[in-house]
Chains A and B, each alone.
Chain A
Amino acid sequence: MKERIKQGIAVVKKVEVKELDFGNDTDLIEEVGLTSIQIMNLIFYLESEFNIIFDDDDLDLENFQTINNIEKVVNKQHV
């Protein structure tokens, strides 16, 4: 799942996934430089990729700040 999340980050950043060199606990905003708009597009991408709809209550920035956090919040959703 982590690879698929990383692929989403590459899509919203408009770069190749191989250009992304960071760990699963790296801060996607502070360290990877995702903008708030890119985060919103990433959320939309993840819903589509994993066939889920995030609960409004889960749409906290913190849940999307690292790959590990994203994995947790994706696992929480049901279709």
Chain B
Amino acid sequence: MNILVTGGISSRIGKNIVGRLLEEGHTVIATYRNDISNDKLPQSERLHTFKLDISEEADVKDCFNHFFNEKALPIDTLINNAGTNVGGMLTQLKTKDWKEMIDTNLTGTFLMCKYFSKYAARRKKGQIINIGSSAANGNLPYQGGYNASKAGLISLSKTLAVELAPYNLRVNIVNPGFIPSQLNQFSEAKEIEETEKSLLGIKHNLSNLVDFISFICADSLSGVTGQEFNIDSRLNK
């Protein structure tokens, strides 16, 4: 299958997903925002890269036109993984930081879904996997903009699932639990706190997340859409 992963080069979660999908024989398009050096990329003929800021409509249009039309490499599955988090108490959060989170996590994902669906609908085949967050269903303080953007993503994904079902396009949302990365500044304190909440005392679930993504990328799940999956072992978010 041909699978596009946003933030697939630099994101901690994204590059693990890309690595696994390549191992499994898929063709993968990994997007990046800042220039990359080739020696840092997984070596595979099945890896394609594309420079893209998901919040820029022109970039998004170009990306799908490039792969579906120019390269004749139709994308079967879109994994919207790129995301950003700027912490801070809501009453002090700068409007520019709020906008950055909404522009990337919500508007950017919307744009990717919008343009992907136009091409995928023509083939009557395709899947969108939006990477949400367990934060969407909780109320963790000091990251209210992030929480709100990810909560919005749930509604976006489920509504899209309804609208796109007649075109045989599926949309699901996968919520990872805490995974140390740039996004949370690899916060040790937060990792300890989150591990304590894990029913199984698991430090973080990156490998299970990657297992799960590879599982739902499989064609065999053709009857699953509009669902939200928490890859987590916590009941109290």
Q: For chain B, which range describes its interface: under 10, 10 to 19, 20 to 34, or 35 or more residues?
A: under 10
**Inter-subunit contact A47/B65 (CB<8 Å):** no
**Inter-subunit contact B65/A48 (CB<8 Å):** no
User: 1/0 per position for B127-149, CB-CB distance to A under 8 A?
Assistant: 00000000000000000000000
Q: How far is the CB of A44 from chain B (nearest CB, A)?
A: 6
Q: How far is the CB of A42 from chain B (nearest CB, A)?
A: 13
A53 at the B interface (CB under 8 A): yes
User: 1/0 per position for A51-79, CB-CB distance to B under 8 A?
Assistant: 10100000000000000000000000001
Identify whether the interface residues of B are mostly helix, strand, loop, or mixed: helix
A contacts with B, residue count (CB < 8 A):
7
Identify whether the interface residues of A are mostly helix, strand, loop, or mixed: helix
Q: How far is the CB of B14 from chain A (nearest CB, A)?
A: 26
Q: Which residues of B contact A79 (CB under 8 A)?
A: 65, 69
**Inter-subunit contact B115/A53 (CB<8 Å):** yes
**Inter-subunit contact A48/B122 (CB<8 Å):** yes
* Known pairs A53-B115, A79-B69; A44 contacts B121 (CB<8 A): yes
B61 at the A interface (CB under 8 A): yes
**Inter-subunit contact B122/A51 (CB<8 Å):** yes
Of B115, B118, B166, chain A has the most CB atoms within 10 Å of the CB of B118
> Could you list which residues of chain B lie within 8 angstroms of chain A, going by C-beta atoms?
61, 65, 69, 115, 118, 121-122, 166-167
Contacts A41-B166, A44-B167, A48-B121 aside, 12 further interface pairs with beta carbons under 8 A come to: A44-B118, A44-B121, A47-B118, A47-B121, A48-B118, A48-B122, A51-B122, A53-B61, A53-B115, A53-B118, A79-B65, A79-B69
